Amino acid sequence: MPPDDGHGRRDYDVVVVGGGVVGCAIAWRLSFTTARVALVEAAHDVGEGASKGNTGIATSGADCAPGTLEADLVTRSSPRWEELCASLDTPWRRIGTLAVAMSAQEERGLQHLREQAVRNGCRSELLSGSEARALEPLVSPRALAAVHIPDDGIVDSLRLVIGYAELAARNGVDVLTGAPVTGFDRDGGRIAGVRTARGRLAARFVVNAAGIEAGRISALAGGDEFEMWPRQGQYLLLDRELGGRFAKIVGGVPTELTRGIYCVPTTNGSLLLGPTAVDSSYPGEKAVDSDTLDAVFAAAQRLVPAVRRDQAIKLFAANRPASDPVYRVGPDSRVGNLVHAAGIRSTGVSSSPATADLVHSLLADAGAPVEAEDASAQTALAPLPRLLGHPDPERLLHLDPRYGQVVCACEQVTAAEIAAACAMRVPPRSLDALRKRTRAAGGRCQGTVCLAGVSFLLSLHMGMQPWEIPVGEPEATLGVAS
């Protein structure tokens, strides 16, 4: 971190506001330049907003509206996933999607999807019901037809955000979590500094990647007026033993309103059902209700009869940022050194690498010193081996004997993996943050067996007493002082 000037003030070329997938991708891209960059995030960890609760699909863009910025950024991102995820130690597999029609009306919708895919330059093929079942035997025998989109993939979106932030931090970006923006210092028509709960940062340029809060941040900066609101999605997460049997993402037919309910095998083997799409006005609202979950489950079971409600290991809700228009990526019309990367709704993960490139070039156009590449920048994170599914566990124990200490039995997370997560530049500061990095306590027993042990280990690494360990945000600890 640059030394402060004695008044809690630090100087940066670019301050990125928002540590979701968009902000972290931008910080990652800027970390390859010689610019001095900070990323400020209100929550205690990166990836705590919309990036925390999404399907984990990296779409190839087949279902994006043709001709839009969204379609452009998603289709330009799609070919990059293999290389990108390898460099960020992020699990990823290009398994493809089957959009399945169960009725004549849905079959007509497939035609529309297919035309969109062609216009977006995405590969797709129209299949009969039996051809679809040959690709994914779990698809309902009542399926009439399907469109196969082979270039869609699944990504661990939590690890993606953390990977972006971690590599950025290793390349010198200051990642400040727990630092909500409280205001901006103005100098004429420009921003001079960003005031946060963790001090003031002098900023030559500011990127607004604040997700649902982006409209409020713009208003605080005296910038363009726009409104963001949360669109809530509810999900059921099903057991790994079922998810591991899926070969394809299975979805319904997208409509004008929503992409619909999906059955998405995740990179760690579980199966995600969801999301719903309900606009609300309160960003803190992340409650699930049983009627909605029943509807999600019924929609998923219609596509894949093998799913069972008693295989659910977790029920959760998350909000994605909704706005009109979507994808407001560009310079502010009033504030000369403010660039927005806002309105990025459900495809934030899928478009993140190309969005980061776009914001980089927008900053360069605005005169930010981001054009000189830093030859010494690290281009990839060293992959951290994991016991789960590892072909040669013996070798892991030679690497670090703590691989022999399985802490979370459901997800087979070892003490070595927990220690490595705690040694990150963007370390976990809560049990949730540790789960995002390692999956510890995130399996079928949801920590029933291991949470006490996991919290003792985390407290050792954090130098805190076990009861002081936050579950998520610092105000809510695992224990209370007795």
Partner 1 sequence: MTVAIVGAGITGLACAAELAPGERVEVFDRIPVAGGVHGWRAPETVALHRAVLRAGVAMRLGATAVRWDGEALLAVGPGGVQRLPAAALVVATGARPLTRAELGIAGGRPAGVVPAPVACHLAENGLLVGRRPCVVGGGDWAARACHELLAAGAEAVTLLAPDGPSRPLPGGVRVVEGVTPAAVEGGPRVTALLAGDERIACDAVVLAHGLAPLRNVDGAVWEGPGVVYAGSLADPATVAGAREAGARAAAEVRGLLGTEAAA
Q: If binding is defined by CB under 8 A, does position 167 make contact with partner 1?
A: no
Classify strands 9-17 and 199-208 as parallel, antiparallel or unpaired. parallel
Closest approach of partner 1 to the CB of residue 367, in Å: 41
Which stretch, 68-76, 151-159, 193-201, 463-471, contacts partner 1 (CB under 8 A)? 463-471
* Binding residue for partner 1, selected from 199, 419, 446, 464, defined by CB under 8 A: 446
Max CA distance (Å), the chain: 70
Which stretch, 19-27, 133-141, 145-153, 443-451, contacts partner 1 (CB under 8 A)? 443-451
Q: If binding is defined by CB under 8 A, does position 463 make contact with partner 1?
A: no
Comparing CA positions, the residue from 239, 259, 233 lying closest to residue 316 is 233
d(CA 260, CA 230) in angstroms, rounded, equals: 17
Residue 293 C-alpha from the chain's centroid: 22
Return the residue matching tokens 């030859």: 375
User: Which residues inside 17-36 make contact with partner 1, applying CB under 8 A?
Assistant: none
Burial level of 394, CB count in 10 A (0-12/13-18/19+)?
exposed
Q: If binding is defined by CB under 8 A, does position 475 make contact with partner 1?
A: yes
Give the number of residues in contact with partner 1, rule: CB under 8 A.
57
Nearer to partner 1, 293 or 426 (CB): 293
Exposure class string for 423-456: b at 16+ Cβ within 10 A, else e:
ebebbbbbbbbbbbbbbbbbbbeebeebbebbbe
Q: If binding is defined by CB under 8 A, does position 183 make contact with partner 1?
A: no
User: Which residues inside 372-391 make contact with partner 1, applying CB under 8 A?
Assistant: 387
Q: If binding is defined by CB under 8 A, does position 275 make contact with partner 1?
A: no
Q: What is the DSSP letter of 65?
A: P
Q: Site map for partner 1, 232-271, x if CB under 8 A?
A: ----xx-xxx------------------------------
Which stretch, 11-19, 54-62, 174-182, 450-458, contacts partner 1 (CB under 8 A)? 450-458
Q: What is the DSSP letter of 94?
A: -
Q: If binding is defined by CB under 8 A, does position 115 make contact with partner 1?
A: no
Q: If binding is defined by CB under 8 A, does position 312 make contact with partner 1?
A: yes
* Binding residue for partner 1, selected from 399, 409, 423, 460, defined by CB under 8 A: 409
Q: If binding is defined by CB under 8 A, does position 208 make contact with partner 1?
A: no
d(CA 349, CA 13) in angstroms, rounded, equals: 26
* Binding residue for partner 1, selected from 278, 380, 445, 464, defined by CB under 8 A: 445
Closest approach of partner 1 to the CB of residue 418, in Å: 15
* Binding residue for partner 1, selected from 281, 290, 376, 379, defined by CB under 8 A: 290
Which stretch, 65-73, 104-112, 113-121, 278-286, contacts partner 1 (CB under 8 A)? 278-286
Which residues, 6+ apart, have CB-to-CB distance to 290 below 8 Å?
none
Question: Is the separation of the CB atoms in 408 and 133 below 8 Å?
Answer: no
What are the backbone dihedrals phi and psi of residue 436, each rounded to the nearest 5 degrees, phi first?
Answer: -60, -35
Which stretch, 102-110, 328-336, 347-355, 406-414, contacts partner 1 (CB under 8 A)? 406-414
Q: If binding is defined by CB under 8 A, does position 2 make contact with partner 1?
A: no
Which residues, 6+ apart, have CB-to-CB distance to 341 below 8 Å?
22, 23, 26, 207, 208, 209, 329, 355, 359
Classify strands 174-176 and 92-93 as parallel, antiparallel or unpaired. unpaired
Nearer to partner 1, 284 or 325 (CB): 284
Nearer to partner 1, 83 or 285 (CB): 285
The one-letter code for the residue type at 317 is A
**Cα–Cα separations (whole angstroms), residue 319 to 273, 292, 300:** 16, 15, 20
By CB under 8 A, name the binding residues for partner 1: 236-237, 239-241, 284-290, 293, 310, 312-317, 387, 393-394, 397, 401, 403-406, 409-410, 412, 414, 443-449, 451-452, 455, 466-467, 470-473, 475-482
